[in-house]
Structure 1
Amino acid sequence: MAGVAVHDISFRGLAGAIFGVLAVALILLVVGLASAGWNITYNENGTSRNVGLWETCVCTSNNDVADWHKATQAMITIGLIFLVFCCICVFIYMCIHTLSKNKTIMALTALCFLTALFLLIGIIIWGVKMPSNLHWSFALTIIAMLTTIVAGVLSIVQMRKAGVDP
């Protein structure tokens, strides 16, 4: 007979670290997604052109964008949606004790890695199509992806510590 899973849930423990890492990832991803700092080029006359997923400065809308640009928008947006679900899962795991902790931590782990996958696809598409002048919004999105992976690894550690058999 397999051992009973025992979940140690505390904001000061591993579960709290998962919560904190996912909160940081969510903030970084929202800022990276919303900002126009994915690509910055400087012209000889001293002006700059900032390109984001949603707008190009001087505040023109990105309605006439290429298919690869739309694909990047879709992948990063799906990643954001999954990251919100990750945050909901970690909240449920830590605060709602009437639901199965085993299923919740397994769902959280899967969502973390699924989030990272969609973000990685979006990052790769953008990086291949705009390989130069990548800037801070792009970097924030990469950091958000990496912190989501860290949260997924911490979730695996929490599962093993609790004795959850996947």
Structure 2
Amino acid sequence: MNVDELKDAAKLPTLTVGTIGDFIREQREQAQVSLRQLSKLAGVSNPYLSQIERGLRKPSAEILQQIAKGLRISAEQLYIRAGILENRIGDSEVVATILAEPMLTERQKSVLIEIYESFRRENAHGTEPTSEAEPAGGFAPPVRPAP
């Protein structure tokens, strides 16, 4: 069994900065779009996009979203490839719903997904949620004044 098969078997993230660049390049080439064309479509500078493809830069979630739009592919695909999201069967509906929400900015979507993942990791480590009187995070619900 080689290293990649071991990582897959252990369900560890197997992709690094370089592989997201490789994936973007593959998608760009399949779409028959030049680097220069994609940089214009995505609103990313040509040198920066080149550095991403060569694995020299790690793109943010916002940049990945722009690249996904330029390539006309799912941003979730790029998030998973970049290691921002884990590819889990049960979570895909929640993440897909957040990513599809048109009223949220890309930054808001990214933050919501990070919070969601944080809570899932916390609960996976056996941390019990707090009681209803004290919600998770220790914050009380907002109190509305009486009419």
> TM-score of the superposition, structure 2-length normalised?
0.29
> TM-score of the superposition, structure 1-length normalised?
0.27
